[in-house]
Amino acid sequence: MLIEMNSELFCARLKEIRKQRKMTQQELAEQSGIPSTSISHIEAGSRKPSLENFYKLIVVLNVSADYLLGRTEKYSDLGTDAISKSIHELPELEREMIQKFILSLQK
């Protein structure tokens, strides 16, 4: 059985989620370790992400893989609690401060 990916929907949803997270392509690139040029090509539909890069995108954007692939309309299975939602709505600088604080607690 051959399963086709809806590339247009994938590109649109990737860009939509990135913007909802108030991230630039450069910020997404820095957080995911994927070059910003690759992010640009992926969003434009001229390149498909590798499995590794796809995983990095869903982790950094905190979104379900099924949503990005167009398999569901459910936005996210991850981080749907009130705290996660509040953190994602903060400006980037404040999110970075919270991330550093959390990392300091893990040591």
According to the model, what pLDDT value does residue 2 have?
56
CA–CA separation, 36 and 29 (whole Å): 5
CA–CA separation, 33 and 11 (whole Å): 19
Spell out the SS3 assignment of the chain: CCCCCCHHHHHHHHHHHHHHCCCCHHHHHHHHCCCHHHHHHHHHCCCCCCHHHHHHHHHHHCCCHHHHHCCCCCCCCCCCCHHHHHHHCCCHHHHHHHHHHHHHHCC
According to the model, what pLDDT value does residue 105 have?
77
Thinking of the domain 7-78, which architecture would CATH place it in? Orthogonal Bundle (1.10)
According to the model, what pLDDT value does residue 4 have?
64
Q: Which tokens sit at 61?
A: 């954007």
pLDDT by 10-residue block (mean), the chain, 107 residues: 74 94 95 96 94 92 88 64 69 83 75
According to the model, what pLDDT value does residue 76 have?
58
The domain ranges of the chain are 7-78
CA–CA separation, 10 and 6 (whole Å): 6
